Amino acid sequence: MVHAIYRVTSFEILAPFMLQVGFDDKTTQKINFKPILKGTIYGPLNDLALFNQVQIDPEVHTLVWPNGADFDPATLHDWQDQFEEFKQLSHNWVNTSNKTCL
Protein backbone atom coordinates (compact mmCIF):
# COMPACT_ATOMS: atom_id res chain seq x y z
CA MET A 1 0.00 0.00 0.00
CA VAL A 2 1.37 3.38 -0.99
CA HIS A 3 1.02 6.14 1.58
CA ALA A 4 1.31 9.61 0.10
CA ILE A 5 3.64 11.93 1.95
CA TYR A 6 2.61 15.55 2.26
CA ARG A 7 4.17 18.53 3.95
CA VAL A 8 2.29 21.40 5.51
CA THR A 9 3.70 24.60 4.04
CA SER A 10 1.35 27.23 5.47
CA PHE A 11 -1.68 27.88 7.60
CA GLU A 12 -4.05 30.72 8.29
CA ILE A 13 -6.43 31.10 11.21
CA LEU A 14 -9.85 31.69 9.63
CA ALA A 15 -12.07 31.60 12.72
CA PRO A 16 -11.96 30.10 16.22
CA PHE A 17 -10.65 26.53 15.86
CA MET A 18 -10.69 26.76 12.06
CA LEU A 19 -7.56 26.81 9.94
CA GLN A 20 -6.83 26.87 6.27
CA VAL A 21 -3.86 24.58 5.76
CA GLY A 22 -1.61 24.66 2.68
CA PHE A 23 0.40 21.69 1.41
CA ASP A 24 3.43 21.15 -0.77
CA ASP A 25 1.24 19.87 -3.62
CA LYS A 26 -0.38 23.35 -3.78
CA THR A 27 -3.70 22.15 -2.31
CA THR A 28 -5.43 23.61 0.74
CA GLN A 29 -7.91 22.34 3.29
CA LYS A 30 -10.25 24.35 5.48
CA ILE A 31 -10.40 22.43 8.75
CA ASN A 32 -12.72 22.98 11.70
CA PHE A 33 -10.93 21.21 14.55
CA LYS A 34 -13.57 21.93 17.22
CA PRO A 35 -15.53 18.63 16.83
CA ILE A 36 -12.45 16.51 17.66
CA LEU A 37 -10.89 18.55 20.47
CA LYS A 38 -11.29 15.88 23.12
CA GLY A 39 -9.04 13.67 25.19
CA THR A 40 -5.68 14.16 26.81
CA ILE A 41 -3.86 15.42 23.74
CA TYR A 42 -6.48 17.39 21.79
CA GLY A 43 -8.79 18.43 24.66
CA PRO A 44 -6.50 21.21 25.92
CA LEU A 45 -6.75 22.86 22.49
CA ASN A 46 -10.29 23.95 23.44
CA ASP A 47 -8.45 26.83 25.08
CA LEU A 48 -8.42 29.21 22.14
CA ALA A 49 -5.26 30.90 23.40
CA LEU A 50 -3.46 27.54 23.23
CA PHE A 51 -5.06 26.55 19.92
CA ASN A 52 -3.87 29.80 18.35
CA GLN A 53 -0.25 28.96 19.25
CA VAL A 54 -0.22 26.49 16.36
CA GLN A 55 3.01 26.35 14.37
CA ILE A 56 4.54 24.34 11.56
CA ASP A 57 7.21 21.96 12.82
CA PRO A 58 10.25 22.54 10.57
CA GLU A 59 11.40 18.91 10.81
CA VAL A 60 8.19 16.95 10.23
CA HIS A 61 6.30 19.67 8.31
CA THR A 62 2.99 19.41 10.11
CA LEU A 63 0.93 21.47 12.53
CA VAL A 64 2.05 21.29 16.15
CA TRP A 65 0.98 22.89 19.42
CA PRO A 66 2.97 23.62 22.59
CA ASN A 67 1.22 20.80 24.49
CA GLY A 68 2.58 18.20 22.05
CA ALA A 69 -0.56 17.82 19.94
CA ASP A 70 0.01 17.27 16.24
CA PHE A 71 -1.56 15.58 13.23
CA ASP A 72 -0.17 13.42 10.45
CA PRO A 73 0.13 15.73 7.43
CA ALA A 74 -1.63 13.09 5.28
CA THR A 75 -4.60 13.17 7.67
CA LEU A 76 -4.77 16.95 7.35
CA HIS A 77 -4.39 16.76 3.57
CA ASP A 78 -7.23 14.25 3.26
CA TRP A 79 -9.33 15.74 6.06
CA GLN A 80 -12.60 15.58 4.12
CA ASP A 81 -12.15 11.82 3.71
CA GLN A 82 -10.82 11.29 7.24
CA PHE A 83 -13.10 13.57 9.27
CA GLU A 84 -16.04 11.24 9.98
CA GLU A 85 -13.77 8.44 11.17
CA PHE A 86 -11.73 10.87 13.26
CA LYS A 87 -14.91 12.33 14.76
CA GLN A 88 -16.22 8.87 15.64
CA LEU A 89 -12.92 7.99 17.32
CA SER A 90 -13.03 11.22 19.30
CA HIS A 91 -16.27 10.13 20.98
CA ASN A 92 -14.15 7.58 22.87
CA TRP A 93 -11.67 10.19 24.05
CA VAL A 94 -12.41 11.70 27.42
CA ASN A 95 -10.70 14.74 28.88
CA THR A 96 -8.16 14.16 31.62
CA SER A 97 -10.59 15.50 34.19
CA ASN A 98 -12.52 12.27 33.67
CA LYS A 99 -9.29 10.26 34.14
CA THR A 100 -9.47 8.50 30.78
CA CYS A 101 -6.66 9.06 28.32
CA LEU A 102 -6.33 9.19 24.59
- Please report, for the domain that includes residue 16, its CATH number: 3.30.2020.10
Task: Flag whether 70 is in a domain.
Answer: yes
- Mean pLDDT computed over 53-57: 98
Task: Flag whether 1 is in a domain.
Answer: no
Confidence bin at 86 (pLDDT 50/70/90): low
At residue 82, the pLDDT reads: 76
Cβ atoms of 23 and 8 within 8 Å: the answer is yes
Mark residue 68 as left, alpha or beta (left: phi above 0; alpha: psi -120 to 50; beta: remaining): left
44 is in which domain, residue-wise?
8-98
3-state secondary structure of 37: coil
pLDDT in tens, 17-45: 999 999 999 999 999 999 989 888 999 99
The kind and range of the H/E element at 9 are strand 8-15
Gap between the Cα atoms of 60 and 37, Å rounded: 22
At residue 100, the pLDDT reads: 40
User: Following CA atoms 61, 66, 71, 73 in sequence, which dihedral angle do they give, to the nearest 10 degrees?
Assistant: -10
Count how many domains the chain has.
1
Between CA 98 and CA 94, with CA 17 as vertex, the angle to 5 degrees is 15
Task: Flag whether 2 is in a domain.
Answer: no
